[in-house]
Amino acid sequence: MKRSLMLVYGVVSYLLFFLTFVYSIGFVGNLWVPRSIDSEPTLPLGTALLVNLGLLAMFAVQHSGMARPAYKRWLTRHIPAAAERSTYVLFSTIAMAALMYFWAPLGGVIWAVESDLATLALNALYLGSWVLLLYATFLIDHFDLFGLRQVWNTFRQQECRDLNFVTPALYRIVRHPIYVGWLGIFWFTPMMTVTHALLALGVTGYILVGIELEERDLERAHPEYTQYKRKVPALIPNIGRRLESAPESSAA
């Protein structure tokens, strides 16, 4: 793959991700977009449930499977190593877009907040969770995480070294602030429908399994991660505990 073509590929993959990311804010929060998670049901309940479970399974397999070192080794035998992350981003974007496009609302309300103040607070926490997620990606290296650093360095014919193991800011009080953001996105809502609960539970289950798989890989790649893991909680911040001497980590 030519360097200029690889750069275009990386930039296009990122832009498609960003557009899908912005749309998903409205989709999950029932804000601004014409079709959201709680739109009017159009399929029979059983059919809708099977469709949604299939979409969640597809997303989990793609998102976690393509992140495994064995898959990366296989993929980079067929494409340049610098394009591997952009390929992951592209396929993750396709999976996310497909989930939103084919998602089948189920109807049914589990809880609904009636207070205007509580609604405002939950919506603020929802949007704040998106901000947290995005901020956490910049703490470690947003452009590396989404493949732009790799294709840019290749375009400039510069060596693209692996990032050092760092624990900046939030990563000193919780190991996975990106996942904390995702959990807030799916659970902070003024109206929890059956549809929303299915998506929230599915994503939560994926995150818990994904953490185990991801940390297994991190401990193999970075021996110091084991010490970091002992000192810093995974998802629930413990503000009182300080990471004093542990190495810095790039875990997401």
194-235 tens-digit pLDDT: 999 999 999 999 999 999 999 998 888 888 898 999 999 999
Instruction: Please check whether residue 168 is in contact with residue 140, taking contact to mean a CB–CB distance below 8 angstroms.
Output: yes
CA dihedral 229, 200, 130, 250 (to 10 degrees): 20
> At residue 241, does pLDDT exceed 80?
no
**Of 240, 247, 132, which is closest to residue 180 (Cα–Cα)?**
132
Tokens of 102: 């084919």
**Of 181, 151, 159, which is closest to residue 252 (Cα–Cα)?**
181
**Beta partners for residue 109, in sequence order:** 193
Instruction: Collapse the DSSP code of 91 into the 3-class scheme (helix H, G, I; strand E, B; otherwise coil) and give the result.
Output: helix
Distance CA(92)–CA(94), nearest Å, equals 5
Q: Which of 75-84, 93-102, 153-162, 183-192 has the lowest mean pLDDT?
A: 153-162
Alpha helices in the chain (DSSP H): 3-29, 45-65, 69-75, 84-102, 116-140, 142-145, 148-155, 177-187, 194-221, 225-231
142-188 tens-digit pLDDT: 999 999 999 999 998 888 777 777 888 889 999 999 999 999 999 99
65-75 tens-digit pLDDT: 999 999 999 99
Report domain extents, the chain: 3-231
Which secondary structure element, helix H or strand E, spans residue 162, and what is its range? none
pLDDT of residue 9: 96
Sign of CA dihedral 138, 139, 144, 146: negative
Distance CA(75)–CA(78), nearest Å, equals 6
Reported confidence tier of residue 252, pLDDT bands at 50, 70, 90: very low
Instruction: Please check whether residue 72 is in contact with residue 234, taking contact to mean a CB–CB distance below 8 angstroms.
Output: no
DSSP category for residue 193: E
